[in-house]
């Protein structure tokens, strides 16, 4: 396993590669210490590609990520994460929309829970899921970052 810290406009992102797949992208708390678990901290080819694509995204030049990714969760979480990847850049869906699209229209709150556990921030665009009313809803990185990302994609004002 290889980890890399990327300084982004939304804070420090920890990128994790395992067996040539990006398996985690998460925002570290502002004053968090980097975990010392014996993993490497280096820029591999896959991580370098992730850094390039993330940089292009933040510059407004990339709308689709083409990284080799792998995530692991419950069957329900993986259904939600798969559906999130279908939301185009610059568009949003409601939690209820996602629940309906996975064939479980009553699972709106569970969709929110799966969003919160998304291991691949930005690449699996959970920030594009908002409330049916048009409100932002929650976001693990904070609603101000969610609003920043949606404004970057020009789909929320």
In a domain? residue 70: no
Q: Do 102 and 139 belong together in one domain? A: yes
In a domain? residue 64: no
Which CATH number covers residue 14?
3.30.160
Domain hosting 14: range is 2-58
Q: Do 53 and 83 belong together in one domain? A: no
Q: Do 81 and 144 belong together in one domain? A: yes
pLDDT at 39: 53
Q: What is the pTM of this model?
A: 0.90
Q: Do 127 and 102 belong together in one domain? A: yes
In a domain? residue 39: yes
Which CATH number covers residue 98?
1.10.10.10
Helix then strand then coil, in percent of the chain rounded to 5, is 35, 20, 45
Strands 11-18 and 21-27: antiparallel
Residue 38 pLDDT greater than 60, yes or no = no
What confidence tens digit (pLDDT) does each residue in 92-123 have? Answer: 999 999 999 999 999 999 999 999 999 999 99
Q: Do 43 and 94 belong together in one domain? A: no
What confidence tens digit (pLDDT) does each residue in 128-157 have? Answer: 999 999 899 889 899 999 999 999 998 765
Residues involved in catalysis: 126
Q: How many domains does the chain have?
A: 2
Q: Do 80 and 127 belong together in one domain? A: yes
């Amino acid at each position: 396993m290889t980890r890399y810290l990327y300084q982004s406009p939304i804070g420090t992102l920890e990128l994790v590669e395992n067996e040539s797949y990006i398996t985690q992208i998460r925002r570290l708390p502002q004053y968090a210490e980097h975990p010392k678990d014996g993993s490497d901290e280096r820029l591999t080819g896959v991580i370098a590609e992730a850094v390039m694509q993330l940089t292009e995204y933040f510059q407004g030049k990339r709308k689709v990520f083409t990284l080799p990714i792998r995530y692991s969760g419950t069957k329900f979480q993986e259904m939600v994460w798969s559906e999130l990847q279908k939301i185009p850049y610059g568009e949003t869906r409601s939690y209820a929309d996602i629940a309906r699209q996975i064939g479980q229209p009553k699972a709106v709150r569970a969709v929110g829970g799966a969003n919160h556990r998304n291991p691949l921030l930005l690449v699996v665009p959970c920030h594009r899921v908002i409330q049916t009313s048009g409100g932002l809803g929650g976001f693990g990185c904070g609603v101000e970052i969610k609003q920043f990302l949606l404004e970057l994609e020009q789909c929320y004002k």
